[in-house]
Amino acid sequence: MIHICANADCGKEFKIINQEKTFYAKVNLPLPIYCPDCRRTRRLQFKNPRKLYKRPCSSCQKEIITTYPLEFTSPVYCSVCFEEKFN
Ligand SMILES: [Zn+2]
Ligand SMILES: [Zn+2]
């Protein structure tokens, strides 16, 4: 499964391996939207641990833990719905 980095300045393609997918599903986090390079850069930018928010999945309404606050109005999906939509 090929993803395009969500960083408009980057736009690099990256793969999410099955092992990673399983991990994200297990910890109930959405799949990363940035390529590994941008993820590393972003991690360095945020010295404090990223704040996690509880919000309902935009599709099935299941409660998920996400880095996007409710004010972030774009849809955020649980790992199951994400798979369905983007696979
Ligand atoms: Zn990137
Ligand atoms: Zn869902």
Query: How many domains, in total, are found in the chain?
Result: 1
Environment of ion ligand 1 (residues, CB < 5 A): 5, 7, 10, 12, 35, 38
For range 53-77, the mean pLDDT: 89
CA distance 47 to 80: 30
Tens digit of each residue's pLDDT (9 = 90 or more) over 12-49? 999 999 999 999 999 998 888 999 999 888 877 665 56
Give the amino acid at 14. F
CA of 47 to the centre of ligand 2 (A): 30
Q: ∠ CA 81-16-39 to the nearest 5 degrees?
A: 100
Q: Return the ligand number nearest the Cα of 28.
A: 2
Nearest to 14 by CA among 1, 29, 27: 1
* Residue-level pLDDT at 68: 84
Domain that residue 64 falls in = 2-86
Give the amino acid at 66. T
Residue 11 has pLDDT above 60, yes or no: yes
CA distance 10 to 21: 22
Q: How far is CA 18 from CA 3, 30, 31, 50, 53, in A?
A: 13, 14, 11, 24, 25
Q: Return the ligand number nearest the Cα of 59.
A: 2
